Amino acid sequence: MSTPSRRRLMRDFKKLQDDPPAGVSGAPTEESIMHWEAVIFGPQDTPFEDGTFKLSLLFSEEYPNKPPQVKFVSKMFHPNVYADGSICLDILQNQWSPTYDVAAILTSIQSLLDEPNPNSPANSQAAQLYRENRREYEKRVHAIVEQSWMTFSNEDSDEAVDQTETAREESPIAEHLGFENIENDAEEGMGGLMDETQDSINEGENEDNDEEEEEEGELRNANETDTSLD
């Protein structure tokens, strides 16, 4: 179903692909164009540098007349981010304008990371540390930066496992025979090879015995001949 909001989101997506802003990326999920996943990289020369922070954007059919619901999925320690990841940002609230698109939303959030507003805190502890103990504040930020790496590393591993399992399930051989049949065939093949090897050994032993008996017979005949000559 094509609606004004969905058509607008398609234009937003095309713009992000054709002219992506530095340090941000985003795309609709496979389930719906109304639900996006995004990543913001921590700005350079800030405590958030090298962080990789995931976000979720949920749009309604009233977009772009109303802003989306935006949350950090990654753990965040920031004066203007609530415990559930919701973001206290003016353009997502009373300063929203239909001219803003997804790229503008993500770049504004990226700027907010290093330019918080401690006078309108969503996290009072982070706001207090930012004002009174900047060293401790940056220490806490560095901790969530490192945690963002671990989160992405674990997700990559899970994705690799999922892809491997999917490949196995979709394998034509597996689909035709099944993994258990493949393993059984391998075991049967190995068993047959061992049987053939043992048969060859037995045949070799029988041939050796026949040769020994033949040599003994020839030797007896030779002895009998010598005796008769004497």
Minimal CA–CA distance to 29: which of 4, 3, 62, 55? Answer: 55
Asked if 139 and 69 touch (Cβ cutoff 8 Å), the reply is no
Q: Which of 40, 88, 89, 92 is catalytic?
A: 88
How far is the C-alpha of 148 from the C-alpha of 54, rounded, in Å?
Answer: 9
CA torsion sign, 198 to 201 to 207 to 209?
A: negative
The C-alpha atoms of residue 111 and residue 56 are separated, in whole angstroms, by 17
* Count of all residues that appear for the chain in the document: 230
CA–CA distance, 52 with 42 (Å, rounded to integer) = 6
86 forms beta bridges with 71
Determine whether 144 is an active site residue.
Answer: no
What is the residue type of 201?
A: I
Catalytic residues: 88
